[in-house]
A and B are shown apart, each in its own frame.
Chain A
Amino acid sequence: MRTDITVVFLFFFVMVTVLGFIAARWRRGDLDRLDEWGLAGRRFGTVVTWFLLGGDLYTAYTFVAVPALVYGAGAIGFFAVPYTLLAFPIAFIVFPRLWSVSHRHGYITAADFVSGRFGSRSLALAVAVTGILATMPYIALQLVGIEVVIAGMGFSASTGLTADLPLIIAFVILAAYTYNSGLRAPALIALVKDVLIYVTVIAAVIVIPLHLGGYAAIFGRIPAGKLLLAPPQGNNFGASTAYATLAFGSALALFLYPHAITGLLSASSRDVIRRNMALLPAYSLALAMIAALGFMAAAAGVAAKPAYAPYFARYGPNFAVPALFLDQFPGWFVGVAFAAIAIGALVPAAIMSIAAANLFTRNIYRDLFHRSLGGAAEATAAKRVSLVIKVGALAFIILLPSQYAIELQLLGGVWIIQTLPAIIIGVFTPWFRGRALTLGWLTGMAAGTGMVASLHFQSSTYPLHLAGFIVPGYAALYSLILNLIVATATTLVMNGLNLPRAVDQTAPGDYR
């Protein structure tokens, strides 16, 4: 165990724990109501929303996995940059409308909106189930982020329950303050997390190149095959279409995730969301720098150093960034950086569990089993569900190989995009029929899962054969196209048959 790192790390960890509990009294509201516990009373202004969404979308797993991909695979890992670059303009156009209609009608989840807009319980259920399925492995992956930094501090040299103990303690604390304070806890903690992240990233992109002889020397040590994307060869478009479709598909999917929607709906006005879409790209700049850490780790040759070899054997490229920090920074600053990653896991894990709990309570438990659920009973149910979700994620990571969580999260992106026609197109037009959207969703889910399964769950880049060409592209985008075709065709058929339409409970004015 490295004492210097651990002491600094524990200092910040204790600090955010205290903040997590104090948060219950911040902008005090009646936490026995679901919109107070699960959306913090929809009262967050521009600054808090900026920290909350930044803390929510740029997760610890991002900080570990994006540079790990750059470290292992090179240029393709940089797709995270055009991805987040495109996500905010899309959100700027779409999500102020979702905020307004949700505010008007008291919607807490995307499934609430879909239910009101299309009057289809099966569609609302589909949206809720998809959200929960996509979120669960994502929470589990946050634990992978905590796991690698705990290992980096010199714990978990042993295996078994003692090795997992720090992780279990961290998660029990997280579960306790989320239960107690709801969305206010991650919002307050996000302030600390983001400051630590920015400090770490800025220090890293200045100090590490000084050690390694400058950026030219760093990029000079990267093999040509990893420095750029493989150009098209013959009839195969190669990495170019994979890169572009991964970026575009991920950008479309980002704000469909329940934790993103929960963050957006907690804003105090639609203008707060609009302003934030111009301000949030600051995190994308940090992300570009974080991605570059992958090349720095490769240039520093961390994997070849015997001290880190056992960790690389256990965690693979995910250990690249922790190893780089251990290699390049003094112990106390490694503590700061590791705290940034671990707290960076707690914030999204809390918001994700709240978002999934909201979905389960509102759109599965209440809609299917308990129509009269409301008030304090509803809030209590959601709090308990958030506990179950976190225990489930913890058990998943401890009992199963983390590879499963990674593969499921890959699928999660393919699944969540299937709710795009109902949510993103739904805020602009009620043209699609509820049943048609459900059928499209089913098609997209099956096709997307099939594509990823045909790649043995190792990749979501599907080599589409089209008119003699091979177009490798993101399976989410390909399956979304099928989804849209089916939803459109079914709607046209239903219109042609003059089948009765369900009542749209929203009016055009509700979206402004």
Chain B
Amino acid sequence: MKTDPRVRRGRIIAGLLYLFIAAVALWVPFYNRVEPSLFGIPFFYWFQTVWILAAAAATGIAYRLGV
């Protein structure tokens, strides 16, 4: 059975997005720092918290693409 080319394109986009999200989330040296802090919260903490939203958005996009 052949996959619809639009679904396949969606899979590639979502897959690349996911790889990027995961690579950043697991690349500790990138966020293991205090500055730039936000409202007195060190980068380490606020960045990872914001990154939750990035991951959720990526899943939302994957859902919309019908992956």
Contact = CB atoms under 8 A, between A and B. Distances in A.
Interface of A: 75, 78, 81-82, 84-86, 88-89, 92-93, 214-220, 227-229, 231, 240-241, 243-244, 247-248, 274-275, 277-279, 281-282, 284-285, 288, 292, 508-509
A288 B26 contact: no
Contact of A278 (B18, B29, B48, B63): B63
Contact of A78 (B26, B40, B45, B58): B45
Contact of A92 (B1, B40, B52, B59): B59
Contact of A284 (B18, B27, B52): B52
A228 B42 contact: yes
A86 B40 contact: no
Interface-central residue, B1, B58, B59, by most chain A CB under 10 Å: B59
Interface residues of B, number: 31
Nearest to A81: B48
Given A281-B55, A285-B52, 7 more contacts: A92-B62, A215-B40, A216-B37, A219-B42, A228-B32, A247-B26, A292-B45
A403 B35 CA distance: 38
Contacts of B33: 228
Q: Chain A contact residues: over half helix, strand or loop, or mixed?
A: helix
6 contacts: A75-B44, A81-B52, A85-B48, A89-B62, A215-B41, A285-B49
Nearest to B49: A288
A89 B21 contact: yes
B50 to A, nearest CB: 10
Nearest to A230: B32
Nearest to B61: A278
A92 to B, nearest CB: 5
Contacts of A86: 22, 25-26, 55
Given A215-B39, A216-B40, A274-B63, A240 B51 contact: no
Contacts of A508: 1
